[in-house]
Amino acid sequence: MKAAIIKNFGDKTELQVVSDYPAPSINDDQVLVAISATSVNPIDYKARQGLLSGRFQWQFPVVLGWDVAGEIIAIGKNVTDFSIGQRVFARPANDVTGRFGSYAEFMAVDTNQLAKIPDNLTDSEAAAVPLAGETALQMLRALQIGPGKKVLIQAGAGGVGIFAIQLAKLMGAQVATTVSGSNIALVQQLGADIAIDYHKHAIQDTLSDYDAVLDTIGDIDGGMDILSSGGRLITISASLSPEQTQRAQNEAKIIATGWLQPNGQDLQQLADYIANDQLKIIIDSQYPLTTSGIQAAHARIESHHARGKIIINL
């Protein structure tokens, strides 16, 4: 099958598209998806650089990618909730070998990670949802967001941030976010109550006594500065230092790292919001699954200027 592979950790030039990569097989509880579109996330370039080698014990060649949108073309004998021909999307479980990611024509997916694509979404739009949307939903739950809560969502124009703003508003929260000046109108349209241009203002100059912070940029100290006593901070982009952990204890604040757990029911909840026009998909750019296309997509995600999701079309 066609796939984008890396044979070593390194820069974007390690990504090469081949046409003769072995296709995955499925077990009795999986489906085989013919992928129409996938997306690029920050974890992809970090993994490509080898920054996650302590977490993932992969064997080269590696196929990156954690978002799937496409059509079921085969099902395991125990599968009853899905059928051949259905359009589905997923954030699949991590392949422990690293050999079968979503930068490929086919992927085996556990049925408990699948959801049906809403009729009002294209496959390219659907590919933008699973990893970023599920991450936003699960982190907001862990932060105990609800009516009247005040939450700061860092990097509101990023993949996770765009979903988190909208979901937090659906949960009844007051939402502040940080963006560049050119993205203020976008996040306001998504529902942000306060949009801070991080080029001009520090969050500490504008916000205080917040109930929660979703940190997507590694600004843990800044996030703690604005939390009230008993407030919660979750970071998805940094590790907590012993000093930060001690400070949180001293100030009666709760801080933690967050890691997505792929979940088809959570994805179905997002699909229902989308079907009811309660959740918007923002796409920054789209590229083909070619060597130049996948390298350009990684250059775009590494620029840190993407406004929404970066899509790879097959």
- Per-residue pLDDT in tens (0 to 9) along the chain, 314 residues: 999 999 999 999 999 999 999 999 999 999 999 999 999 999 999 999 998 877 888 999 999 999 999 999 999 999 999 999 999 999 999 888 999 999 999 999 999 999 999 999 999 999 999 999 999 999 999 999 999 999 999 999 999 999 999 999 999 999 999 999 999 999 999 999 999 999 999 999 999 999 999 999 999 999 999 999 999 999 999 999 999 999 999 999 999 999 999 999 999 999 999 999 999 999 999 999 999 999 999 999 999 889 999 999 99
Beta-bridge mates of residue 3: 18, 104
Strands (E), the chain: 3-5, 16-18, 30-40, 68-75, 87-90, 106-110, 114-116, 150-153, 174-179, 194-197, 210-215, 227-235, 254-257, 283-288, 309-313
Which CATH class for the 132-257 domain? alpha beta
Q: Which CATH number fits domain 3-129+281-313: 3.90.180.10, 3.40.50.1000, 3.30.420.10, 1.10.150.530?
A: 3.90.180.10
**Nearest-10 crossing angle of helices 159-170, 130-142:** 50
CB contact set of 45 (below 8 Å; sequence gap of 6+): 12, 298, 301, 302
The answer to whether the beta carbons of residues 231 and 210 sit under 8 Å apart is yes
> 3-129+281-313 and 132-257: same fold?
no
Can you give the residue ranges of every domain in the chain?
3-129+281-313, 132-257
- Give the chain's end-to-end CA distance (angstroms, integer): 12
Q: How far is Cα 23 from Cα 2, in angstroms, rounded to an integer? A: 9
Q: Write phi, then psi, for 291 (nearest 5 degrees).
A: -60, -45
The answer to whether the beta carbons of residues 94 and 56 sit under 8 Å apart is yes
Beta strands 87-90 and 68-75, pairing class: antiparallel
Q: How far is Cα 222 from Cα 219, in angstroms, rounded to an integer? A: 5
Whole-prediction pTM: 0.95
The answer to whether the beta carbons of residues 255 and 245 sit under 8 Å apart is yes
